[in-house]
């Protein structure tokens, strides 16, 4: 994938000895691949973020209309004795 996809598209580059030295990484350090790099899940998230229009700070706020609170509902509960009479 590195040779055929990522490197030609300039999504990634090879880490050479000169690049390691430039980054300040020791020669005996172990470099590991990011297992989430290039995964379908990551690409889907990136696509969704690209499609979302940017919100202006004024778009984050909207007027809220406060209506009167509804009247509370009253429930009549049966006692254990009353419920047994219904059976």
Question: pLDDT tens digits for 60-76?
Answer: 666 666 677 778 888 88
Work out the average pLDDT over 3-8: 87
Torsions phi, psi for 86 (to 5 deg) = -75, -25
% helix, strand, coil for the chain, step of 5: 40, 0, 60
pLDDT at 73: 85
Question: pLDDT tens digits for 8-63?
Answer: 988 888 888 888 888 888 777 777 777 776 677 777 777 777 776 655 555 566 66
CA distance 2 to 18: 19
pLDDT at 65: 67
Domain borders along the chain are 1-27
* 37 close to 12: Cβ distance less than 8 angstroms: yes
DSSP conformational letter for 11: S
């Amino acid at each position: 994938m590195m040779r055929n996809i990522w490197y030609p598209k300039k999504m990634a580059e090879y880490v050479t000895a000169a690049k390691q030295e430039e980054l300040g990484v020791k020669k005996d350090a172990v470099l590991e691949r990011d297992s989430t790099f290039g995964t379908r899940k990551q690409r889907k998230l990136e696509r969704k973020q690209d499609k979302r229009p940017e919100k202006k700070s004024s778009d984050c706020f909207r007027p809220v209309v406060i209506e009167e609170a509804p009247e509370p509902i009253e429930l009549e509960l049966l006692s254990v004795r009353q419920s047994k009479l219904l059976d």
